[in-house]
């Protein structure tokens, strides 16, 4: 496998950024308008990690547009990757690991789509993928690292080993990954797109700097003054954000640190549908949870007020 | 497994034997399941000054008994943590040399401690079985000072030849690991449900160090797809104190 030049072309990525308005103005918009910026064939990077702070509302809105030919990258890919496979939205998955977690076993959808050659999975180590975003965030074409050498991941992945210009030792030159679009979910932002994240930061801040277009949902929209009172908490500057949407429970039924807990039982029901019906189980899930609800409110109503309140209670308890 | 005959489950055995490999005043990169239980047990037995670092970008959590994490990236994994630096940052602590021990598991392991969690059969592009992938395993085995592999001991896992080296142990043995560019670390121990294994210092060939109580060398040979160097030494069985601590950490036996 060779890595597409556009993934690490730092000069092209820089030009794209220079040519773009970097406004300190209003970023609030609707989720439909936000995802309309994603074009078929784009490389879309997702924030969060596994079932934590996944930008699920943006993924659902994107899938409702029936996109095709996307490359999808995420450090640990949860079942949103399966949705994109079954929806016919992706040509490539880039990740270090795919599944939900130990209790749910191997992803049958990943197996079906990758083993048949329908959707290739490009695998990197967790750190290597993090460094791909980090290199892009730094505006450089690669970063040296001591990881992944000696493994088959180097042989199949197209990454290169270089000699250190100072010590002569071997180093892995981890290529930058400049996504076309970043989909992120954060705890709070002001209407100008200055974003704050609580708890574990995952790789979101790097992804926001790496991508050409940055789409964000926030649990809460706060005043500009509130951001200015705690600027140390801001991890993504407003000028890096293209569109911002206020979506409480945007990651649900995945977790959002300190705000709501994940729903393992919901994951089990989802996997049970796959165990019984294969990809048709995912399709049925998409019909009910992705294509069905006309609004985010209708989506949340599928879970019910009591379930959300309970997830909120557990989420607060886990950080208290 | 015969070692489980005395009411000790496979994961309890792995957690107890894994915990005994951890030293006080040190650091461990630990994942969910047996590794986290091993680390939690060591902290409560002989290593109170052991710090855990977790893949989700978590330093020094103090997990709540009965509320253990199912993922390295969820709030239970971060419970009462001392620091949440981010995922890339957590691995860079290992690259810098801060992590003494790393725990990993794997679907397939060979005589040199290489692991495959990527693909079995066919080719990388069209595998017969696509496994989940490296996650952080490759980074942990590449960057920590020493790695302990915790695994159930089955013939299908202990394989003569791997289809894919996701996580490099001693590669083809000798100095192959160093020559590949991996200047640090390596696999120190393989702790299985049958015994504890090390590696010959020259050939880097897997060697049985000690059998668990009730296990025979023949049983090890029968469950290993390659020739293993043997020993008659025995591990000390899990004590009531160790098992009591583990069962208090995980009263619902979610991971035990």
- Please report which confidence band the pLDDT of residue A160 belongs to, taking 50, 70 and 90 as the band edges: very high
Contact A130 B75 (CB under 8 A): no
With respect to residue B255, please indicate whether it lies within any of the assigned structural domains.
Answer: no
Specify whether B55 is catalytic: yes
With 80 as the cut, is the pLDDT of residue B1 above it?
Answer: no
Contact A123 B118 (CB under 8 A): yes
Q: Tell me, yes or no, if the pTM score tops 0.95.
A: yes
Domain boundaries, chain A: 5-251
Q: Which residue of A has its CA nearest to B254?
A: A103
pLDDT confidence of residue B6: 64
The Cα of A62 is separated from the nearest Cα of chain B by a number of Å equal to 25
Residues B158, B159, B160, B161, CA torsion sign: negative
Residue-wise DSSP of chain B: -GGGGGS--HHHHHHHHHHTT--SS-EEE--TTHHHHHHHHHHHHT-TT-EEEETTTEES--PPTT---SSTTSTTTTTT-SB---HHHHHHHHHHT--SEEEE--SEE-TT--EE-SEEEE-SSSEEEE----TTHHHHHHHSSEEEEEE---TTTB-SS-S--SB-SSTTSTTHHHHTT--S--EEEEEESSEEEEE-TTT--EEEEEEPTT--HHHHHHT-SS--B----BPPPPPHHHHHHHHHHSTT-S--
| Angle of the A264-277 helix axis to the A108-115 helix axis, nearest 10 | 50
Contact B95 A146 (CB under 8 A): yes
pLDDT confidence of residue B107: 87
Give the residue numbers spanning the domain of B184. 2-249
Nearest to B135 by CA among A215, A8, A99: A99
Quick: pLDDT tens for B138-196.
Answer: 999 999 999 999 999 999 999 999 999 999 999 999 999 999 999 999 999 999 999 99
With 80 as the cut, is the pLDDT of residue A1 above it?
Answer: no
Contact B133 A98 (CB under 8 A): yes
Alpha-carbon distance of A29 to A289, in angstroms, equals: 22
Quick: pLDDT tens for A177-203.
Answer: 999 999 999 999 999 999 999 999 999
With 70 as the cut, is the pLDDT of residue A166 above it?
Answer: yes
Quick: pLDDT tens for A73-116.
Answer: 999 999 999 999 999 999 999 999 999 998 999 999 999 999 99
- Please report which confidence band the pLDDT of residue B2 belongs to, taking 50, 70 and 90 as the band edges: very low
Assigned superfamily of A5-251: Glutaconate Coenzyme A-transferase (3.40.1080.10)
Q: Tell me the Ramachandran region of residue B129: left when phi exceeds 0, alpha when psi lies from -120 to 50, beta otherwise.
A: beta
Quick: pLDDT tens for A103-154.
Answer: 999 999 999 999 999 999 999 999 999 999 999 999 999 999 999 999 999 9
Q: How many CB pairs under 8 A join A and B?
A: 185
For B88, which of A115, A134, A148 is closest by C-beta distance? A134
Average pLDDT value for residue range A283-312 = 98
Would you tell me how many other CB atoms lie within 10 Å of the CB of residue A294?
Answer: 9
Contact B132 A106 (CB under 8 A): yes
With respect to residue B104, please indicate whether it lies within any of the assigned structural domains.
Answer: yes
pLDDT, mean over chain A: 97
* Most distant CA atoms of chain B, gap in Å: 49
For B165, which of A106, A152, A315 is closest by C-beta distance? A152
Quick: pLDDT tens for B52-93.
Answer: 999 999 999 999 999 999 999 999 999 999 999 999 999 999
Quick: pLDDT tens for B225-235.
Answer: 999 998 889 99
With respect to residue B254, please indicate whether it lies within any of the assigned structural domains.
Answer: no
Alpha-carbon distance of B256 to B163, in angstroms, equals: 30
The Cα of A72 is separated from the nearest Cα of chain B by a number of Å equal to 16
Residue B171: which CATH number? 3.40.1080.10
Nearest to A126 by CA among A151, A104, A148, A109: A148
Q: Tell me the Ramachandran region of residue A228: left when phi exceeds 0, alpha when psi lies from -120 to 50, beta otherwise.
A: alpha
Average pLDDT value for residue range A284-313 = 98
Alpha-carbon distance of A36 to A47, in angstroms, equals: 19
Q: How many domains does chain B have?
A: 1
Catalytic residue among B12, B21, B55, B242: B55
pLDDT confidence of residue A218: 98
Q: In chain A, what residues touch B79 (CB-CB under 8 Å)?
A: 318
């Amino acid at each position: 496998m060779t890595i597409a030049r556009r993934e690490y072309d730092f000069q092209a990525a820089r030009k794209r950024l220079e040519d773009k308005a970097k406004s300190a103005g209003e970023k609030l918009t609707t989720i439909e308008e936000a995802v309309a910026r994603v074009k078929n064939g784009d490389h879309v990077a997702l924030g969060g990690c596994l079932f934590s702070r996944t930008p699920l509302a943006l993924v659902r809105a994107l899938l409702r547009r029936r996109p095709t030919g996307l490359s999808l990258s995420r450090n640990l890919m949860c079942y949103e990757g399966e949705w994109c496979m079954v929806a016919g939205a992706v040509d490539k998955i880039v990740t270090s690991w795919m599944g939900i977690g130990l209790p749910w076993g191997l992803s049958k959808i990943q197996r079906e789509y990758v083993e048949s050659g329908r959707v290739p999975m490009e695998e990197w180590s967790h750190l290597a993928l993090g460094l791909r975003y980090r290199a892009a965030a730094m505006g450089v074409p690669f970063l040296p690292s001591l990881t992944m050498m000696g493994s088959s991941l180097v042989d199949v992945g197209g990454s290169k080993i270089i000699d250190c210009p100072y010590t002569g030792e071997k180093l892995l030159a981890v290529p930058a990954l400049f996504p076309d679009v970043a989909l992120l979910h954060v705890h709070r932002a002001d209407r100008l797109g200055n974003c704050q994240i609580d708890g574990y930061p995952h790789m979101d801040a790097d992804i926001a700097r790496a991508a050409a277009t940055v789409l964000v949902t926030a649990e809460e929209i706060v005043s500009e003054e509130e951001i200015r009172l705690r600027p140390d908490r801001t991890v993504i500057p407003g000028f890096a954000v293209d569109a911002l949407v206020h979506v409480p429970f945007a990651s649900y039924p995945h977790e959002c640190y300190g705000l709501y807990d994940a729903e393992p039982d919901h994951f089990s029901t989802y996997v049970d549908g796959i165990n019984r019906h294969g990809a048709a189980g995912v399709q049925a899930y998409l019909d009910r949870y992705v294509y069905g609800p006309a609004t985010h409110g209708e989506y949340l109503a599928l879970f019910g007020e009591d379930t959300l309140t309970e997830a909120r209670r557990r989420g607060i308890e886990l950080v208290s | 497994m015969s070692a489980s005959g005395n009411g000790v489950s496979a994961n309890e055995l792995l957690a107890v034997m894994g915990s005994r490999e951890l030293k006080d005043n040190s650091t461990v990169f630990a994942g969910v399941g047996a590794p986290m239980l091993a680390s939690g047990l060591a902290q409560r037995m002989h290593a109170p000054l052991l710090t855990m670092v977790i893949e989700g970008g978590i330093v020094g959590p103090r997990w709540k008994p009965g509320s253990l994490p199912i993922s390295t990236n969820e709030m239970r994994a971060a419970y009462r943590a001392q620091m949440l630096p981010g995922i890339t940052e957590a691995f860079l602590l290992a690259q810098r040399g801060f992590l003494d021990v790393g725990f990993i598991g794997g679907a397939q392991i060979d005589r040199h401690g290489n692991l495959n969690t990527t693909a079995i059969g066919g080719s990388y592009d069209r595998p017969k079985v696509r496994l989940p992938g490296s996650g952080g395993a490759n980074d942990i085995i590449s960057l920590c000072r020493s790695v302990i592999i915790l695994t159930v001991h089955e013939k299908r896992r202990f394989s003569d030849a791997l289809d894919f080296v996701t996580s490099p142990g001693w590669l083809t043995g000798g100095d192959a690991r160093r020559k590949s560019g991996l200047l640090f670390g390596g696999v120190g121990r393989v702790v299985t449900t049958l015994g504890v294994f090390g590696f010959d210092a020259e050939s880097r060939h897997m060697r049985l160090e000690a059998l668990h109580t009730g296990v025979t060398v023949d049983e090890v040979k029968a469950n290993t797809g390659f020739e293993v160097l043997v020993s008659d030494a025995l591990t000390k069985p899990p004590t009531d104190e160790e098992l009591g601590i583990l069962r208090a950490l995980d009263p619902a036996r979610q991971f035990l």
